A and B are shown apart, each in its own frame.
Chain A
Amino acid sequence: AQKVTQAQTEISVVEKEDVTLDCVYETRDTTYYLFWYKQPPSGELVFLIRRNSFDEQNEISGRYSWNFQKSTSSFNFTITASQVVDSAVYFCALSELSGSARQLTFGSGTQLTVLP
């Protein structure tokens, strides 16, 4: 069975600080996908990034960067120069193929609060 662990329940930073959200996963699949989603207070889950198990190249996109390390089963997410609008719950998710559809397993989420 697959599992996603986000050990950080809540993080508080002051605006312009960098913050890293941790994610550790377990899966028996050799092919899988990892995701980060953002959920602001409005409730919508916003897709941020996908990584597949064959692509360990890390990436920077604007203020966001991701660190995928298969050897440690980790998929961490960093926000550089945080802003108040980044305040939200961030979910890490793992996708396995179940029948003809992909099934997401979410971590418990990390509540990020960015203070002005």
Chain B
Amino acid sequence: DTEVTQTPKHLVMGMTNKKSLKCEQHMGHRAMYWYKQKAKKPPELMFVYSYEKLSINESVPSRFSPECPNSSLLNLHLHALQPEDSALYLCASSPYRGTEAFFGQGTRLTVV
């Protein structure tokens, strides 16, 4: 199983809403990532979890709050987002000290 599953696939939320993005993998990978991708741009790293601990936070605004409840799950909690936060949010995982990252299909987020 080389699959990373993200839910929901699409999300529309207002600027006062609170929502969460979910990501799940069952490959035994111990590193998980959140990336943000704007249209016609490459993915930009937001957060890295390694062994369920936050190891990298690329100066992301506090309205994005990551959580890693266990080695298979990664959440991204959203609160008070801005329209410019509309993007494709990609989750990925890789083996500890591994190489290639495997990506989910992403959540297309629209903030209205």
Contact = CB atoms under 8 A, between A and B. Distances in A.
Q: Do A and B bind each other?
A: yes
Interface of A: 33, 35, 37, 42-47, 50, 52, 91, 95, 97-104, 106-109
Interface of B: 31, 33, 40-43, 45, 48-51, 55-56, 88, 90, 92, 94, 96-106, 108
Contacts, number: 72
A43 B103 CA distance: 10
Contacts of B90: 43, 45
State the majority secondary structure of interface residues on A: strand
A100 B101 contact: no
A35 B42 contact: no
A43 B109 CA distance: 12
A102 B98 contact: yes
A97 B97 CA distance: 7
B88 to A, nearest CB: 6
A103 B99 contact: no
B31 A102 contact: yes
A101 B55 contact: yes
A103 B56 contact: yes
A102 B45 contact: no
A82 B49 CA distance: 38
Nearest to B90: A45
